[in-house]
Structure 1
Amino acid sequence: MFTRRPGSLLRRPLGRRFAATGVAAVLLAVGAGLAGCSSSDPASVAACASPGVDDHQISLGVLYPDSGPVAGIYAAARAGIDARLGAANAAGGVHGRRITYQWRDDQGVPLPNGIGARELVEQRGVFGLIELSVAAAGSAAYLTQRGVPVTGMASDDIWTRAPNMFAATTSTGAAVDTQGQFVQERGGRRAVILQTALSPAQSSAAESYARSLVAAGVQVLGTVTYTSGVDDPALVARRIAATRADTVVGVIEPHDLVDVVDALRGGGYNPKVVLSANGYDHDLLQTYGPRMAGIAVPVFYRPFELGGPGINAYVTAMHRFAPQVTQPEQDIAVAAYISTDIFLRGLDLAGACPTRARFIEALRGVNSYDADGLINTISFRVGPARPTTCYSFVQANTTGSGFVVVEPNLCGHLLNP
Structure 2
Amino acid sequence: MLGLVVGTGCSGTTASASSCTGDGAAPGVTRDEVRLGLLYPDSGLLAEAFPGLRAGVDARLGEVNATGGIQGRKIVYEWRDDAGTAEGNLSGARELVDQRGAFGVLEFTAAATGSAKYLADRRIPTVGLAAEDVWTKYGNMFSFASTLAAPVDTYGRFVKERGGTSAFLLRSAMSAGVSGAALRIGQSLQALGVDVVGSFAYTSGADSVTDVARQIVSSGADTVVTMITPADLPPVLRAIRELGGSPKVVLSLNGYDHSLLRRHGPDLAGVLVPVFYRPFEAGGAPIQHYLDAMARYSPQTDDAEQEFGLIGYINTDLFLRGLQAAGPCPTRQSFLAGMRTLTRYDAGGLIQPTNAGATRGRQSTCFALMQVNPSGSAFGVAQDNLCGRALGPTL
Equivalent of 2:127, from 151, 155, 158? 151
- Structure 2 CA distance, aligned partners of 1:173 and 1:234? 34
Is 2:240 the counterpart of 1:268?
no
**Given residue 179 of structure 1, which amino acid in structure 2 is its aligned partner?**
Y
**Residue 49 of structure 2 corresponds to which residue in structure 1?**
73
* Same amino acid, percent of matched pairs: 49
Cα distance in 2 for partners of 1:383, 1:201 equals: 17
**Partner residue, 1:409:** 385
Structure 2 CA distance, aligned partners of 1:382 and 1:224?
32
The offset of 1:379, in angstroms, is 1.3
Q: Which of 374, 382, 388 is the equivalent residue of 1:398?
A: 374
Aligned pairs for 1:286-325 within 5 A:
286-325=262-301
- Whichever residue aligns with residue 221 of structure 1, its letter is V
Deviation for aligned residue 1:393: 0.5
Call closer, same or farther: CA 1:269–1:384 in 2, change over 3 Å.
Answer: closer
Match of 1:216 among 161, 175, 192: 192
Name the CA distance, whole Å, in 1 between partners of 2:235 and 2:41. 23
| Aligned residue type for 2:173 | A
- Pick the aligned partner of 1:330 from 306, 310, 319: 306
Cα 1:92–1:236 change in 2 (3 A) is same
**Which 5+ residue runs of structure 2 have no aligned equivalent?**
1-8
CA-CA distance at 1:415 after TM superposition: 2.2
The answer to whether the Cα contact below 8 Å between 1:66 and 1:75 also exists between their aligned partners in 2 is no
Equivalent residue, structure 1, for 2:169: 193
Matches within 5 A, 1:379-398: 379-381=355-357, 385-398=361-374
Question: What is the RMSD computed on CA atoms of the aligned residues?
Answer: 2.2
Give 3-state SS (helix, strand or coil) of 1:286's partner. Answer: helix
**Structure 2: which amino acid aligns with 1:54?**
T
> In 2, distance between residues paired with 1:58 and 1:323?
24
Cα shift at 1:232: 3.0
Could you say if the C-alpha distance between residues 198 and 128 of structure 1 is closer, same or farther in structure 2, counting changes exceeding 3 Å? closer
Query: 2: CA distance between counterparts of 1:92 and 1:152?
Result: 24
Aligned partner of residue 366 in structure 1, secondary structure: coil
Q: Could you tell me which amino acid in structure 2 is paired with residue 238 of structure 1?
A: R
Aligned to 2:208: 232
Partner of residue 23, structure 1: none
Alignment match, 2:5: none
- 1:16-415 correspondence runs (5 A): 42-43=14-15, 45-47=17-19, 48=21, 49-197=25-173, 199-381=175-357, 385-415=361-391
SS at match of 1:191: strand
Deviation, 1:43, is: 4.5
Summarize the Cα distance change of 1:43–1:198 in structure 2 as closer, same or farther, 3 Å threshold.
closer
Say if 2:170 and 2:201, in contact at 8 Å, map to a contact too.
yes
Number of residue equivalences: 382
- Tell me the distance in 1 between the aligned counterparts of 2:10 and 2:192: 47
| Cα drift, residue 180 of structure 1 | 1.6
Provide the residue aligned with 2:6 in structure 1: none
**Most deviating of 351-360 and 292-301:** 351-360
Deviation at 1:42, TM superposition (A): 4.6
Q: Distance in 1 between matches of 2:73 and 2:98?
A: 22
Quote the offset at 1:382 in angstroms. Answer: 6.4
Q: Which deviates further from its counterpart, 119-128 or 63-72? A: 63-72
Give the drift of 1:413: 1.7
Deviation of residue 317 (structure 1)? 1.3
Cα distance in 2, alignment partners of residues 240 and 157 from structure 1: 27
Whole-angstrom CA distance in 1 between matches of 2:66 and 2:141: 27
- The one-letter code of the counterpart of 2:262 is Q
Measured after TM superposition, the shift of residue 371 of structure 1 is 0.7
SS of the equivalent of 1:222 reads: strand
Q: Distance in 2 between matches of 1:206 and 1:383?
A: 19
Letter in 2 for 1:46: S
Distance 1:216 1:361 in 2: 39
Query: Any conservation in 2 of the 1:156–1:173 contact (CA below 8 Å)?
Result: no
Residue of structure 2 in register with 1:24 after alignment:
none
CA-to-aligned-CA distance 1:259-298 (integer Å, 9 cap, x gap): 1111222333221111111000001011112222101101
> Which region of structure 1 is more displaced relative to structure 2, 226-235 or 143-152?
226-235
Quick check: 128-137 or 403-412, which moved more? 128-137
Matching residue's letter, 1:293: A
* 2:323/2:338 contact within 8 Å kept: no
Conservation of the 8 A alpha-carbon contact between 2:10 and 2:65: no
Q: Which amino acid aligns with 1:207?
A: L
Q: How far has the Cα of 1:210 moved from its partner? A: 1.5
The residue type equivalent to 2:277 in the other structure is Y
The secondary structure found in structure 2 opposite 1:85 is helix
Q: Distance in 1 between matches of 2:143 and 2:371?
A: 26
CA 1:384–1:198 in 2, change beyond 3 Å: closer, same or farther? Answer: closer
Contact 2:373 2:380 in 1 (8 A): yes
What secondary structure sits across from 1:365 in the alignment?
Answer: coil
TM-fit CA distance, 1:386? 1.7
Q: Which runs of 5 or more residues in structure 1 are unaligned?
A: 1-36
